[in-house]
Structure 1
Amino acid sequence: MSADTTRRIQAHPLFATLVAQRRRWSVVLTLSVMGLFYGLVLLVAFEPSVMAVRLGEGSMLTLGVALIFSLFALFWLLTALYVRQANTRFDALNRALLDAARDGGR
């Protein structure tokens, strides 16, 4: 890609929209994952007895194990949401930007 095409893309208003939307999603997802993960670590550090609570009488499953598996499932869900967003909205903005760059920056 030529330097002129790159400049036209970076100057286009859709580029600013794409960057802002991707940054917003990235920040929200990063803070969510970090908050949940470090919340779990803090729970283990300061209230380990909560993690040892058994789920059901005679059950081998504890709240800690259930929380950890739930976090993994939630992280997969958040990843799927981001991929869906990237494959729909972000890719559409990328295509529009490339089309605009090919048309001379309009």
Structure 2
Amino acid sequence: MDLQAIQDNSAFRQLASERARLGVGMSIVMATAYFAYILTIAFWPRLLGHPLWSGTVITWGILIGVGLIALGFLLTALYVRRANSRFDRLNQLLLEDYR
């Protein structure tokens, strides 16, 4: 197999393009959420230090931090779902062209 021939294949270009767009998009979402949280901690710590309700030690900061972890899991699950459906199909088309 010639590497240039694979790179010129439309299925390969589509697969690479879709994977890159999805990866970059999800990375931007996660990085934005994370940095917003960090900047809030740095500049407005009282905002995240308020308890969820009176009498509890659990603060909004803890809840939002757990939410960030959940966002990471959610984005990972969405990527895996997309990879197992669309990307695997495009990969199979590419493999069929070179068998």
Q: TM-score, normalised by structure 1?
A: 0.88
RMSD over aligned Cα, in angstroms? 1.0
Output one character per residue of 1:70-102: Cα deviation in whole Å (capped at 9) or x when no partner.
110111010010011111111110110010122
Aligned position for 1:87: 84
Distance, in Å, in 2 between the alignment partners of 1:51 and 1:7 is 53
The one of 57, 69, 72 aligned to 2:69: 72
In structure 2, C-alpha distance between the alignment counterparts of 1:54 and 1:10, rounded to whole Å: 55
> Taking CA–CA contacts closer than 8 Å with sequence separation of 6 or more, which of the two structures ends up with the larger relative contact order?
1
Cα distance in 2 between the residues matched to 1:57 and 1:89: 48
Measured in 2, the distance between the counterparts of 1:60 and 1:94 equals: 50
User: 2:10 corresponds to which letter in structure 1?
Assistant: P
State the TM-score, normalized to the length of structure 2.
0.94
Aligned residue identity for 2:61: G
From 36, 39, 53, the counterpart of 2:36: 39
Q: Aligned partner of 1:49: which letter? A: R
Cα deviation for residue 9 of structure 1 reads 2.0
Taking the aligned partners of 1:86 and 1:15, their CA distance within structure 2 comes to 14
> In structure 2, what is the equivalent of residue 19 of structure 1?
16
Secondary structure at 1:61's aligned position in 2?
A: coil
* 1:62 pairs with 2:84: no
| Structure 2 unmatched runs, 5+ | none
Partner amino acid for 2:51? R
Deviation per CA, 1:20-73: give whole Å up to 9, x if none. 100100110111111111111100000000011110121121000000001101
Identity value in percent: 37
